[in-house]
Amino acid sequence: MSVLPRRRNGEIPATDGVVIRMAGIRKVYDTGKVKVEALRGIDLVVHRGEFVAVVGPSGSGKSTLMNLVGCLDTPTEGGLADARNRRVGFVFQSFNLLPQITAFENVEMPLLFGGVGKRERQARVTELMDRVGLADRMEHRPTELSGGQMQRVAIARALAMNPDVVLADEPTGNLDTSSGGDIMGLFEELWRQGRTLVVITHDMALARRAGRIVEVRDGLILRDEPTGSVATLREARASHG
């Protein structure tokens, strides 16, 4: 994959470059009567090639965090469409596939918005569908797919424009344990291939499979530490040589 960042000597590219840098971020939801402080000063740096799991109870502010990172929740300005298209790929809890078009067309959509030519779109979508293991489901509509399959389509869609980072908000929230595990496995695989991933989840068991866990509580980062997965990954990559 020529489009992926280059690796030096099989090292973890943890310092390759900063993908996300947040310093003292605050977000206040003003409902008129009550002001809710969703984020009260967040400092977060994510480097290229990292796999970060953001955990925390409901209402802790982790979704707000992701929406801010993904430019989904800032005052809409002209330049954001490009950022959403090229910088970030989104995976949602509720998949958010367009129901009236096929899986293929769903994955193709960001490429259309990005102005990619027809032949390249064709090749790219086919490759991505193959990578998420749904090469034989390309012409199916989302309603004809299982939850796990729909989320795989959504992941393929998130990868379509080769974004700097893939943001996933509770990607396993609507899935059973087994499908959820599969999706997490797919994320691990993407990580091994050099992708930068930020995944929000409730499930600590899944979070431990990421390289780094950021725990958010009451709008603040409570804990930010690497997991054992990094060592495992390093070994895996070293053994691949």
Partner 1 sequence: MGLLIGMRQLGRDLASQKLRTFLTAFGIVWGTAAISLLLAFGEGFHKQILVNSAGLGENIVIAFPSLTSIPFEGLGKGRRILVDEEDIDLVEKGLAGISGEYADTFKLLYNTRTLPVDVSGVRPVFGDLRNLIPQEGGRFVNALDELDKRRVIFLGNELAKEIFGSTEPVGKTVMLLGSPFTVVGVLKEKTQDSSYSGRDKDKAFVPGSTFRALTGAKYVDNLIFKATGTDATEGLKADVIRVLAGRHRFDPSDKEALQMWDTTEGFKFIDTFMLAFRAFLGIVGSLTLIVGGIGVSNIMNVVVEERTREIGIKMALGARAGSILRQFMAETMLITIFSGAIGLLLAAAICAVFPEGFREFVGKPVISPSVGLLTAGLLGLIGFLAGYFPARDASRLDPVVAMKL
- The CA distances from residue 160 to 87, 109, 141, in Å, are 11, 9, 18
**Closest CB to partner 1 among 85 and 179?**
85
Residues numbered 49 to 68 that lie near partner 1 (CB under 8 A) are 67
> Where on the phi/psi map is residue 45: left (φ > 0), alpha (ψ -120 to 50), or beta?
beta
146 CB neighbour count, 10 Å cutoff: 12
What's the closest the beta carbon of residue 230 comes to partner 1, in angstroms? 30
Considering only 4, 18, 101, 231, the residue that binds partner 1 (CB under 8 A) is: 101
Residues numbered 144 to 183 that lie near partner 1 (CB under 8 A) are 157, 161
CB 227 within 8 A of CB 67: no
What's the closest the beta carbon of residue 20 comes to partner 1, in angstroms? 17
What's the closest the beta carbon of residue 163 comes to partner 1, in angstroms? 10
**Closest CB to partner 1 among 157 and 195?**
157
Considering only 109, 126, 131, 173, the residue that binds partner 1 (CB under 8 A) is: 109
What's the closest the beta carbon of residue 83 comes to partner 1, in angstroms? 8
110 CB neighbour count, 10 Å cutoff: 22
The C-alpha atoms of residue 34 and residue 187 are separated, in whole angstroms, by 38
* Binding letters toward partner 1, positions 65-84, x by CB under 8 A: --x--x-xxx-x-x--xx-x
Tallying the residues shown for the chain, one arrives at 241
- The CA distances from residue 70 to 114, 131, 133, 158, 233, in Å, are 17, 24, 26, 12, 27
Which residues contact partner 1 by CB under 8 A? 67, 70, 72-74, 76, 78, 81-82, 84-86, 90, 92, 96-98, 100-101, 105, 109-110, 112-115, 117, 157, 161
